[in-house]
């Protein structure tokens, strides 16, 4: 896979997101650069509080950005945009939420929840078409048509998350931000949800920005991965490349912490602890550099030389 062959759907440039102002100002995300290609599953991994969700929400326009650009389909979508443009973009970018019980309206039937977007954008010509669309979507996510008039609290966690997926994907979005869609779910149904996302990618060509902290899940689902820590992206590469040749020490420590379901091997393994003070950035500040084709690392010149030397 070469970057130049792929069409870029979403491009983030020097993104900075700040919360609060004055003394209580807090920079949650800074210097974030990445492109998402059409039809791929791009993952953002990092510990909690690293700003993964903040970036996802900024793309949807829920969190305002303080600097930088978010370019979707060739148009800037952050900052000041007209209401009409925002309305258009909102349909094309959808979100799957982390907690399926908090993100569904408990007082509305599944029928209304899934149709909500259709009503807002008049995507169905008449009542019959709307019902047909909803039924089809319901079938796509593996729910039964007779469950249309039930309420969210009657469903299990996995079923609820599928309702959440259905309402996002019925809009025919180009990009779906999946914000830890499986972390609130039972182990036994996680694979079901992941496979569902993969199915939609294959059948409808939906592009996903997958936000997670579970590396084994990320390896299973994504094409490219960006590792984020404290609001900065430290390393970005294709999935297998990242897992086979992690360059940044933080990525190495993350990979060394993946649980191994074999106590004998797990005992022998040495955990690598990352210390953010190990970098010497006094002479030269770090930037996002391409060490190998398609493999970016956040480092300065000296470190880049060192990493390149290590690889050979």
The residues binding other proteins (CB under 8 A) are: 60, 62, 87, 90-91, 93-95, 97, 99, 102-108, 112, 116-117, 120-121, 142-144, 147, 149-151, 153-155, 159, 164, 167-168, 171
Considering the complex, state which of residue 76 and residue 192 has its C-beta at the smaller distance from other proteins: 192
Minimum distance, C-beta of residue 93 to other proteins, in the bound complex (Å): 8
- Which residue from 296, 291, 293 is spatially nearest to 5, judged by alpha carbons? 293
Considering the complex, state which of residue 117 and residue 246 has its C-beta at the smaller distance from other proteins: 117
- Which residue from 164, 158, 17 is spatially nearest to 105, judged by alpha carbons? 164
Considering the complex, state which of residue 139 and residue 284 has its C-beta at the smaller distance from other proteins: 139
Minimum distance, C-beta of residue 143 to other proteins, in the bound complex (Å): 6
Minimum distance, C-beta of residue 246 to other proteins, in the bound complex (Å): 34
∠ at Cα 119 (123, 173), nearest 5°?
50
Pairing of β 41-45 and β 287-292: unpaired
Minimum distance, C-beta of residue 101 to other proteins, in the bound complex (Å): 9
Considering the complex, state which of residue 121 and residue 274 has its C-beta at the smaller distance from other proteins: 121
Considering the complex, state which of residue 153 and residue 269 has its C-beta at the smaller distance from other proteins: 153
Integer Cα distance of 213 and 168 in angstroms: 22
Minimum distance, C-beta of residue 64 to other proteins, in the bound complex (Å): 14
Identify the three-state secondary structure at position 303: helix
User: How long a stretch of residues is the chain?
Assistant: 312
∠ at Cα 198 (193, 200), nearest 5°?
95
Provide the token pair at 142: 């593996």
Q: Are the C-beta atoms of residues 161 and 99 closer than 8 Å to each other?
A: no
User: Cα dist. 121→109, 116, 169 in Å?
Assistant: 19, 9, 14
Minimum distance, C-beta of residue 70 to other proteins, in the bound complex (Å): 15
Considering the complex, state which of residue 121 and residue 272 has its C-beta at the smaller distance from other proteins: 121
Considering the complex, state which of residue 28 and residue 114 has its C-beta at the smaller distance from other proteins: 114
Minimum distance, C-beta of residue 57 to other proteins, in the bound complex (Å): 8
Minimum distance, C-beta of residue 170 to other proteins, in the bound complex (Å): 9
Strands of the chain (E only): list them: 8-19, 26-37, 41-45, 67-72, 75-76, 93-96, 175-179, 207-212, 224-229, 232-238, 287-292, 295-299
Integer Cα distance of 310 and 299 in angstroms: 14
Considering the complex, state which of residue 68 and residue 164 has its C-beta at the smaller distance from other proteins: 164
């Amino acid at each position: 896979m070469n970057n130049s062959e792929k069409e870029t759907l979403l491009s983030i440039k020097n993104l900075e997101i700040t919360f609060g102002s004055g003394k209580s100002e807090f920079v949650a995300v800074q210097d974030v650069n990445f492109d998402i290609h059409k039809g791929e599953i791009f993952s953002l991994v990092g510990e909690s509080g690293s700003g993964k969700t903040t970036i996802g929400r900024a793309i949807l326009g829920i969190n305002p950005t303080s600097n930088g650009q978010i370019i979707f389909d060739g148009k800037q979508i952050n900052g000041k945009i007209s209401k009409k443009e925002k309305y258009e973009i909102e349909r094309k970018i959808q979100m799957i939420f982390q907690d399926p019980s908090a993100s569904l309206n408990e007082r509305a039937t599944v029928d209304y929840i899934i149709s909500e977007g259709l009503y807002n954008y008049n995507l169905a010509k008449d009542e019959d078409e709307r019902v047909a669309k909803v039924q089809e979507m319901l079938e796509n996510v593996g729910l039964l048509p007779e469950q249309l008039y039930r309420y969210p609290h009657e469903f299990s966690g996995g079923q609820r998350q599928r309702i959440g997926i259905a309402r996002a994907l019925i809009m025919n979005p180009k990009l779906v931000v999946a914000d830890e869609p499986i972390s609130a779910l039972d182990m036994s149904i996680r694979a079901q949800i992941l496979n569902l996302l993969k199915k939609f990618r294959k059948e409808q060509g939906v592009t996903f920005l997958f936000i997670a902290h579970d590396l084994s899940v990320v390896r299973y689902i994504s094409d490219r991965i960006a590792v984020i820590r404290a609001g900065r992206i430290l390393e970005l590469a294709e999935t297998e490349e990242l897992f086979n040749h992690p360059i940044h020490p933080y990525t190495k420590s993350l990979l060394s912490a993946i649980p191994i379901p074999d106590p004998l091997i797990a005992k022998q393994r040495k955990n690598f602890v990352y210390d953010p003070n190990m970098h010497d950035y006094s002479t030269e500040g770090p930037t996002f550099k391409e060490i190998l084709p398609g493999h970016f690392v956040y480092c300065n010149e000296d470190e880049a030389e060192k990493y390149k030397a290590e690889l050979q």
